[in-house]
Structure formats: structure tokens, C-alpha cells
Amino acid sequence: MIIPESAVKDEEISIFLLVVRGSDCDLKKAVIRLNLKDHYDFKNIDEFIDKFHEVYQFIGGERLKRIKEVYGKELLLIDGYK
């Protein structure tokens, strides 16, 4: 069974936002957790932010609307970082 790329991106954005929320919106803690528990290899927060935006651009429609409703605080933190 082949999993659609959109489903993979959807899952990845969910992981990113859940980890940021679970890290009390501390991006440094979120990056450390993603590296240790979710097998990413981010060198720093900037690299995480870049990957987040790379994945986020593929989310659209109702899913994007729902993400903005549920994760507004986390999105503001990520967008305001740079």
C-alpha cells in the first residue's frame, strides 16, 4: 500500500505542532525532543523552522483551517521566531 505524500505531510505537521505544544512553546525544547524521540536531526531552531514551513506549505483546505483554529498559539510562535 502506498501512502499519499499529502498524508505524510499532514502527519508530520501534526507531530511538529504537538511537540511544540508539549514543550510549553519552547522551541529549543521542541527541537531537542524531536531529535531524541522522533528521530529528526535538526541542528538548531532555524533548521526546524525551515522544515516546518517546507511541510506547512502543502497543507490546505479544511485541514489548514482546523490547524489554525487548534494551534494558533504555536503557529504564532513559529512565525514570529525569525
Confidence band for 1, pLDDT divided at 50, 70 and 90: confident
pLDDT at 4: 74
Where along the chain do its domains lie? Answer: 5-81
What is the structure's pLDDT at 31?
Answer: 98
Q: What is the pLDDT of residues 33-81, one digit of tens each?
A: 999 999 999 999 999 999 999 999 999 999 999 999 999 999 999 999 8
Specify the pLDDT at position 10.
Answer: 87
pTM over 0.95: no
SS (HEC) of 28-58: HHHHHHHHHHCCCCCCCHHHHHHHHHHHHCC
Contact yes or no for 35/42 (Cβ under 8 A): yes
